Amino acid sequence: MSHSYRQPGVVLTDRRFTVPLDHADPEGETIELYAREVVASGKAGDDLPWLVYLQGGPGFGANRFIGKQAWLERALNEYRVLLLDQRGTGHSTPANRQTLPLRGTPAEQADYLTHFRADSIVRDCELIRPRLTGGAPWTVLGQSFGGFCAVSYLSLAPEGVAGAVITGGLPSLDAHADDVYRAAYPRIERKVGAHYARYPQDVERARRIADHLLTHDVVLPNGYRFTVEAFQSLGLMLGMSDGSHRLHYLLEDAFVRTPAGPELSDAFQEAVQGLLSYADHPLYALLQEPIYGQDPRPTAWAAERVRAEFPQFDAAKALAGDAPVLFTGETVHPWTFDTDPALRPLREAADLLAARTDWRPLYDPARLAANEVPVAAAVYHDDMYVDAAHSLRTARAIRGLRTWVTDEFEHDGLRTGAPRVLDRLLALARDEG
């Protein structure tokens, strides 16, 4: 049963849908999806085309906007928008340390999680779409991992798509996870170098924190084991428009004087645990590498293995000399499941996912080469999370896709550049600009 309510300038309707866990077994087990319909107040009764928004991730529920924030203002000029909590996220049937044990053994948990990738999300959309649009195709807006889902949509069910706009989310069609991270670490190093060039005082601050963590056993208030590798992973922020500044302000208040000597301050630890915890998005950690699984090779903790090819990221070696401590980025490691109490019970399931060799293909190169759906994509020139070279190779493989390559924005351009970014992409998709 749907329920409608109002915020400034918009009418919101909560919607829930029952879908098969496995779309290959439509009569089998089901899960619930939640989505929030948004329409401009003055157009609530109008017959409008639909736009479905696919959030970045994996593992995050759709944005919780208040009124017409960010890109939503532009979208509501002409669309009725569906903000979908992809399966396992937000208000949809959850998948986390509390619920996954209901599945049984770690092997059964891992089997369950194989149904939470882009192909299943696309099938969910196709089950939902006719119920809302009466069968008409809708426009798909995919941000980051949502863009990966959009490319899967064009591969699996292009008849459901009137147009697609993608921001920071054109995936490689055939790269193994090793290839993804082999391309990622040099980009991460460039972002760290740019941060230290902007804030040279942070070089010594980061070295001091890393040294403290190598010589002390630090457990954050929520039970997170704060290791030097976990500290380095705070570099995830550097891919966002304000990330360098936020990291700088975090580092400057790290220590406080105590009777026992310098210690990491309570304020610093509180801020860090909020940034590092996967409590509200565990699927991000569980599926970060499986979203690249497409061939018989296992992902096999690719980010951890490939990191060994880049010894400059070893904090102990940096501290032994005078090199800066390098932060890392969007990488998940075996130790991630040992440090975070929200993930510890899921370590065995994560290991089984990393060893899996029966992943289904997510993209159809032949179908994409014959694409007839209008598509436009923003490719951020030095995106820390999605390799621009991989994205451009994919852009050339999708018939008719138009790209906007820019260094004006970081990965969060849809948020920081809205409504201009969405307006530009819609115009490109329509061949209006």
pLDDT at 2: 76
Helix H or strand E encompassing 257 = strand 255-258
Which of these, 431, 417, 362, 427, lies nearest to 394 by C-alpha position? 362
How is 125-171 classified by DSSP, letter by letter?
HHHHHHHHHTT--EEEEEETHHHHHHHHHHHH-GGGEEEEEEES---
pLDDT at 34: 98
Using the Cα atoms of residue 145, residue 150, residue 151 and residue 155 in order, give the sign of their dihedral: positive
Tokens 């903790």 label which residue? Answer: 301
The answer to whether the CB of 371 falls within 8 A of the CB of 400 is yes
Tokens 């409590």 label which residue? Answer: 279
144: annotated active-site residue: yes
Please give the average pLDDT of every successive group of 10 residues along the chain, which has 433 residues.
Answer: 89 98 97 98 96 97 95 97 98 98 97 98 98 98 98 98 98 97 98 98 98 97 98 98 98 95 97 98 98 94 98 98 96 98 98 97 98 98 96 98 97 93 97 81
d(CA 264, CA 255): 4
pLDDT digits (tens, 9 = 90+) for 338-366: 999 999 999 999 999 999 999 999 999 99
Which of these, 101, 145, 94, lies nearest to 121 by C-alpha position? 145
Pairing of strands 138-143, 3-7: unpaired
pLDDT digits (tens, 9 = 90+) for 378-395: 999 999 999 999 999 999
**What does pTM read for this prediction?**
0.97
d(CA 149, CA 169): 9
CA 333 to chain centre: 16
Locate the domains of the chain by residue range.
Answer: 3-174+363-429, 177-355
For the domain 3-174+363-429, what is the CATH superfamily, name and number?
Answer: Alpha/Beta hydrolase fold, catalytic domain (3.40.50.1820)
pLDDT at 3: 87
358: annotated active-site residue: yes
Q: CA of 68: how far to CAs of 34, 241, 375, 419, in Å?
A: 20, 21, 24, 10
3: annotated active-site residue: no
pLDDT digits (tens, 9 = 90+) for 110-125: 999 999 999 999 999 9
1-40: b (≥16 Cβ within 10 Å) or e: eeeeeeeeebbbbebebebbbbbeeeeeeebebbbbbbbb
Using the Cα atoms of residue 87, residue 88, residue 90 and residue 94 in order, give the sign of their dihedral: positive
Out of 85, 277, 411, 412, which one is annotated catalytic? 411
d(CA 27, CA 147): 29
pLDDT at 54: 98
pLDDT at 403: 98
19: left (phi over 0), alpha (psi -120 to 50) or beta: beta
Out of 115, 119, 120, 144, which one is annotated catalytic? 144
Which of these, 53, 86, 59, 145, lies nearest to 386 by C-alpha position? 145
Which of these, 140, 155, 141, 232, lies nearest to 195 by C-alpha position? 232
The answer to whether the CB of 164 falls within 8 A of the CB of 375 is yes
d(CA 125, CA 131): 10
